[in-house]
Structure 1
């Protein structure tokens, strides 16, 4: 069995102000942390995660809270698999949301084509939206520590979005006599 090392962070912070508590939660989720319960989260052990958790520990102390960071491993393969599946499930939720947004993107372009709205302004707006989707995918990928199953589907859906945008761009150029 390949043993995975994790960082376990437990913390307790005052209930008020809620904005600081929520900001801490967002930072941890933004790092890809999996919550085992309130105030208890796990991250894969990397130098970057150690450094960032130490900085968050300082934030917790400044809030008047308490924090402990430990290095840990699973007791056995079954426990390790449970944890890895939690990480994958979190990423799958994000990939699924991205796939839904890709479908919305495709519908939006289909609507513009149906209205025959072939303007450069609209093309630029759609291009910006696709770049946002691609950036979001990259962010999810960076937090996909264990290869969530929906990653491939999300990548494929983004490729479809790129093709749809290319087709729309061709129609915009043709409608504006760009190839003369």
Structure 2
């Protein structure tokens, strides 16, 4: 259950105390998890809270968690760009390589969408991640042009 919380962007304030922004999808998720926990014989409480102090710390922690996700995605984008550069330098401009790299870009784009869905409080790395995905797409397009140019049957 903690995996579902984390995959929806929850941060842990301490052991067994998770926080999510007050949004209808998050409330539905938490109510569903509470029902599952109760069915398994456990207990769970849900609270809607307003911070008396320290609310900025929670916001900072939530955005830091999203920025960590964006950083991981940015690292994978660097790996993607390095792979394209390697294949280009090695002369591996084949349809198979193009297809493989196209699938990798699709995965990166899906991952960005998932992070963006969790990023409801405007983490700082979102624009950089989106720009890097676009750079990956542009580099893949250049690679595709090399592949098509290497095809003797291309008209």
TM class by shorter chain equals: over 0.9
Q: 2:32 maps to what in 1?
A: 55
Q: 2:151 maps to what in 1?
A: 176
Identify the match of residue 104 of structure 1 among 61, 76, 79.
Answer: 79
Q: Which runs of 5 or more structure 2 residues have no equivalent in the other structure?
A: none
3-state SS, counterpart of residue 70 of structure 1: coil
- C-alpha distance in 1, partners of 2:14/2:20? 14
Please identify which structure carries the higher strand content: 1
Runs of 4+ in 1 over 4 A off after TM superposition: none
Q: Is the 8 A contact 1:87 1:145 kept in 2?
A: no
TM-score, normalization: structure 2? Answer: 0.96
TM-score, normalization: structure 1? Answer: 0.83
- C-alpha distance in 1, partners of 2:115/2:138? 22
> What's the CA shift for 1:122?
1.0
Q: 1:42 maps to what in 2?
A: 19
Q: Is the 8 A contact 1:32 1:143 kept in 2?
A: yes
Q: Which runs of 5 or more structure 1 residues have no equivalent in the other structure?
A: 1-23
> What's the CA shift for 1:73?
0.6
- C-alpha distance in 1, partners of 2:16/2:88? 49
Matched, 1:135 2:113: no
Q: 2:127 maps to what in 1?
A: 152
3-state SS, counterpart of residue 48 of structure 2: strand
User: In the TM superposition, what are the counterparts of 1:113-128 in structure 2 within 5 Å?
Assistant: 113-128=88-103
- C-alpha distance in 1, partners of 2:29/2:124? 27
- C-alpha distance in 2, partners of 1:73/1:138? 29
> What's the CA shift for 1:109?
0.7
3-state SS, counterpart of residue 46 of structure 2: strand
Two-structure CA RMSD over aligned residues (Å): 1.1
